[in-house]
Structure 1
Amino acid sequence: MKLMIVDDHQVVRQGIANLLRSMIPGIEVTEAENGQQAVTQYGPCRPDVLLLDMGLPDISGLEVGRRVRQRWQGAAILFFTMHDELPLVRQALDVGSMGFVSKSCAPEELAEAVKRVASGQPYIEHAIATRLAMNSERPVDYRLKDMTQREMEVLLMYARGDNVSGIAEQLCISSKTVSNHLALLKSKLQVGSSVELIHLAVDAGLVRYGQRGAGQRS
């Protein structure tokens, strides 16, 4: 089995690699430290599973998943992230991923998820699957339900600290389109300012203060 781990923290990548090598005999692991690198390396590597973090330093895991699935429709993507808000889980599944597990899951569950996805079976962490089935969401989640994938992408990047021109460049869209997305987001999410928009993203667990200077513009 070939696995590609996409995470911006080297110690996390190496820790996961060592863990899975001890639990899955014969597994071959490659690593990528950001989204662009993952998309570039995916073709030559063609891993059986793409283990993908959500909060990457350039484009988010959602955009990586979208780009990989557009070019390689059979790509088996398993999100492995600290974010477990249900709207974000649904967005991950909507881009075509086959699984979703949080970084708080047990090592055995991560290994099981990797093996299941590699064999073509979907896998969602038990606790998250239960919340999805029961539609049990945190109080702030209701405002995120109707966001499109692109709106979620823009919100994640903006709240993380990217400015309008930077978001436009990374998503290959115009700055005007990004500004329009942000204006619509404020209306849809019922907030009156950019600061409130960032606070909502933080409160929902989509980003956290200190993550690449969340909310800081350059």
Structure 2
Amino acid sequence: MKVMIVDDHQVVRQGISNLLQSMVPGLAVTEVDSGQDAVAQYGQLLPELVLLDMGLPDISGLEVARRIRQRWRGASILFFTMHEELPMVRQALDVGALGFVTKNCAPEELAEAVKRVAAGQPYIEHAVATRLAMNQERPVDHRLRDMTQREMEVLLMYARGESIQGIAGRLCVSSKTVSNHLALLKSKLQIESAVELIHLAVDAGLVRYGQLNDGQRV
């Protein structure tokens, strides 16, 4: 079985690779450190599974999953990430991922998720699935529930310090389009300023203050 691991931390990639190869017989692993490379290499490798982090240095895992699934509808994608907020889980499933596990899961659960998703079966980490079923969210999360995948993408990048021009470049759209997305986001989320937008992302657990950059605000 061929697996592509997409994570920007080399130690993490190698650790996951070693772990899975010890637990899943016959596993062949390719390591990729960016979203753009993942999309470019998918068509060449055609792996049975993409093990995908949410937070990548260029485009987010959500956008990687969207682009891969757009071109290869049969792609099996398993998110493996620190993010465990329910809006992020729903976004991941909405873009076509078959599975979602966090980096806090047990090694045995990760191996089971890899085997199931590679076989075309859905798998959500038990604790996350329980929260989804019971709909136990933070009070702020309901404001994010109806966001589109592209709106979530823009919010994540903007909250992490990306400039409007930088977001536009990554998403291959115009700066005006990104500005429109941000304006619609503020209206939809009933907030008035960029600072409030960032605070909302932090309060929802989508980003942490340590992740914020000094990106140019426009």
- What TM-score comes out, normalization by structure 2 length? 0.97
Three-state SS of the structure 2 residue aligned to 1:207 is coil
Which amino acid in 2 is paired with 1:104?
N
The equivalent residue for 1:183 is 183
Counterparts of residues 58-73 of structure 1 (less than 5 Å): 58-73=58-73
SS of residue in 2 equivalent to 1:31: strand
Residues in 2 aligned to 1:35 and 1:68: alpha-carbon distance in whole angstroms:
10
* Equivalent in the alignment of 2:33: 33
Aligned match of 1:135: 135
* Equivalent residues in 2 for 1:134-213, closer than 5 Å: 134-211=134-211
| 1:123 alignment counterpart | 123
Counterpart-to-counterpart distance in 2, 1:136 and 1:217: 33
SS of the residue aligned with 1:30? strand
In 2, the alpha carbon distance for the partners of 1:88 and 1:39 equals 20
SS of aligned partner of 2:29: strand
Query: Counterpart of 1:193 in structure 2: which amino acid?
Result: S
How many angstroms apart in 1 are the aligned matches of 2:164 and 2:10?
A: 29
After superposition, give the CA deviation of every residue in 1:139-163 in whole Å (9 maximum; x if it has no partner).
2211101111110000011111111
Corresponding residue number in structure 1 for 2:50: 50
Give deviations 1:87-111, integer Å, cap 9, x for gaps. 1111100100100001111110000
- 1:195–1:215 CA contact under 8 A, matched in 2: no
Question: How many residues end up aligned between the 2 structures?
Answer: 216
- Following superposition of structure 1 onto structure 2, how do residues 52-131 of structure 1 map, counting pairs within 5 Å? 52-131=52-131
**Residue identity in the other structure for 1:216:** D
RMSD (Å), alpha carbons: 0.9
Letter paired with 1:83: H
- For residue 28 of structure 2, what is the amino acid of its counterpart? E
Offset, 1:74: 0.5
Aligned-partner Cα distance in 2 for 1:205–1:31: 27
SS at match of 1:5: strand
Q: In structure 2, the residue corresponding to 1:216 is in which secondary structure?
A: coil
1:216 aligns with 2:214: yes
The answer to whether the 8 A contact 1:79-1:99 is kept is yes
Counterpart Cα distance in 2 of 1:204 and 1:81? 16
Q: How far does residue 173 in structure 1 lie from its aligned partner after superposition?
A: 1.1
- Structure 2 unpaired stretches of 5+: none
